[in-house]
Amino acid sequence: MGSSATAERLPEQTAAENPARARILTAAFAAFTELGFAQASTLEIATRARVSKRELYALSANNQQMLITCISERERRMRLPADWPAAHTRQDLEAGLVKFGTVLMQEVTDPDVISVYRLAVSEAERSPEIAQALHSYGQQASCNALMEILRGAQSAGLLTLAEPDRMVARFNALLLENLVMSLALGLGKRPSPNEMRRRAHEATEAFLRLYPQTKPTPRLVSKAGTPKGSAKPRI
């Protein structure tokens, strides 16, 4: 994967705020994935980024910190936006979970993310910080965002009061199954956008069947005071 492909995936805000920093991160990630973590020298990264070693060291003291910075950039993409709509009905909740699930699948199946998984496994003994960063800035960021949605739904009485951690794990299992491992091993291919949306719908439907609503949905009442859909009482 070339650096141009990676550049398209870096947050636009990063490039706008600091172009040199964006070039360094793009070059570093490309070098790590193409050459391997141990073979990606600071000179190689600096050359690709068109910066001096001094500029490189100003951003990161070594390759481990550089890769951790690359991983942490993705955390921005898994935070809920400030204007994320609160769910007031089960239909709202379903739509929100489908949207979140689709975005999550797009992120975790991104070729760059799969490359990081492979890199973290290959460097697990020598550089455990990579796996820790992947967990903290990648997996944990998405889990926190999902937990925020679920807690809001619980407060509104739209979900049973189960443990949020367990609910997050259940939703992720329904959505992703063994997809990430399959991609990391090269045994599968990335789902199409339509397939991602379909899987998000199916996972959401299965999840909501597991966790019912705690507060009944108010019945609509007609002007005469009789709930709609019910027969008038006989006199």
Token code pair at residue 54: 């001094």
Count of other CB atoms within 10 angstroms of residue 213: 16
Which tokens sit at 86?
């609160």
First to last CA, the chain: 77
pLDDT at 98: 96
Is 0.75 topped by the overall pTM?
no
Residue 72: the pLDDT is 75
Look at domain 3-59 and name its CATH class. Answer: mainly alpha
Task: Write out the two tokens for 26.
Answer: 């793009």
Domain segments of the chain as ranges: 3-59, 77-210
218 CB neighbour count, 10 Å cutoff = 7
pLDDT along the chain (235 residues), means of 10: 40 60 87 81 90 86 80 68 83 95 90 82 78 77 90 92 92 93 90 96 96 67 49 40
Domain 77-210, second-level architecture: Orthogonal Bundle (1.10)
What is the pLDDT, as a whole number, of residue 6? Answer: 41
Q: Which of 39, 37, 42, 30 is nearest to 3 (CA)?
A: 30
Q: Per the structure block, which two tokens stand in for 185?
A: 């091993």
